[in-house]
Structure 1
Amino acid sequence: MRKLIESTFITLDGVVDGLETWSVDYFDEEYGKYANELLAGASALLLGRETFEGFAGYWPTAEESEGEYAVTINKLPKYVASRTLTEAGWNGTVIAGDVAGAVAKLKEEDGGHILKFGTGELDRALLGLVDEYHFWVHPVIAGSGQRVLDGVDTTHLEYVRSTPLPSGVIVQVYAPKQSN
């Protein structure tokens, strides 16, 4: 059974949108190393439509500048949750309708983990299916914006580990809390 891993960039005050204005200053060698290791264990990507379209506009032409990370991201199969797309291209398969049910079936397959990028409506649909959250907490206060998992019921997680990066980013890993 495969794990579903959520990888989310976040500010200290919980904001997840506008990351192109606050996250890029923190990309360094250790940041890239952690990202590469996380991606290397994946056998598929799970993306919402907006994240998919953003990625598809960048990654297919980024192999020269981004190296092996881009090569890996381009070759992986991508599952795209969307109510509007009928086809995806870029090695993508559209998941329409019961996204949670489709992802639960994907998790039952053999292979590496399913890595989910992006934050939005899809997170709420997958809340009970995520096995690990990797929150890349950036030392930034955005002041306003979309907050991670806004509007969900109280959900308890358990601490797995933290990885501090020299840039000041701390990747905090949590898993769903197991009831006793």
Structure 2
Amino acid sequence: MRNLIMWNVITLDGYFEGQSNWDLSFHGLVWGKELEELSLSQLRSADMLVFGANTYQGMADYWTKATEEEGEVAKYMNQLPKLVCSTTLSKAEWNQSRITKDAVSEISKLKTEGNGDMYVFGSGQLSISLMKAGLFDEFRLCIAPTFLGKGKKLFPEGIPNQTLKLVQTNPLTTGGVVLRYVPERKT
């Protein structure tokens, strides 16, 4: 059975994007050899990447033009199968991409069909829908040591009340901290 994992870099005050689309400048505060190795480890365990429409378009634009500096990360980003959850997109041309209009139903089905991990990167609106459906098996967050004060919150009001169990912390030499949480399932 596949695990659905959220992966995001957020600021200490909870923003995953600045005021303008694709304002991810705070990622530079935590990026380094340690986070690159973690990214590669995650990509090696993945058998699918999951995106909302806006994140898909931005990622496709970036990774299809990746330079040699992005190396092995770019290879995985371009080769792995991708599921685009969108009711508006009619085509997805990035290598090994397909679209679903019913994210909750499709991801529920896909979780039973494989053994690798499925990662949701960014994709704030999609993540809220998946949280409300109880589909995430793990939340992985890298906390960047900064306050933005404005931008797009990853966890806005209205998300379901859910208790999480901390399963791992990983402080980075850049000052960031990677946290791994799993939902506490009600028995």
Give a deviation string over 1:32-85, Cα, whole Å, max 9, x none. 011111111000100011111001111112152210110011000100011111
TM-score of the superposition, structure 1-length normalised?
0.95
Matched length: 179
Letter paired with 1:126: L
Q: Name the CA distance, whole Å, in 2 between partners of 1:119 and 1:76.
A: 17
Asked if 1:172 is matched to 2:179, the reply is yes
Q: Name the CA distance, whole Å, in 1 between partners of 2:110 and 2:160.
A: 25
CA contact (8 A) 1:8 1:119 kept: no
Q: Secondary structure at 1:27's aligned position in 2?
A: coil
Asked if 1:132 is matched to 2:131, the reply is no
Q: Secondary structure at 2:153's aligned position in 1?
A: coil
Q: Name the CA distance, whole Å, in 2 between partners of 1:153 and 1:76.
A: 30
Deviation, 1:25, is 3.1
Runs of 4+, deviation exceeding 3 Å:
none
Q: 1:10 corresponds to which residue?
A: 10
Q: Secondary structure at 2:91's aligned position in 1?
A: coil
Query: What runs of 5+ residues in structure 1 fail to find an aligned partner?
Result: none
**Where does 1:62-77 land on structure 2 (aligned, <5 Å)?**
62-77=66-81
Deviation, 1:147, is 1.3
TM-score of the superposition, structure 2-length normalised?
0.91
Q: 2:39 corresponds to which residue?
A: 35
Q: Name the CA distance, whole Å, in 2 between partners of 1:24 and 1:102.
A: 34
Deviation, 1:144, is 1.7
Q: 2:110 corresponds to which residue?
A: 106
Q: 1:119 corresponds to which residue?
A: 123
Asked if 1:92 is matched to 2:97, the reply is yes
Q: 1:157 corresponds to which residue?
A: 164
Q: CA RMSD in A?
A: 1.2
Letter paired with 2:87: R
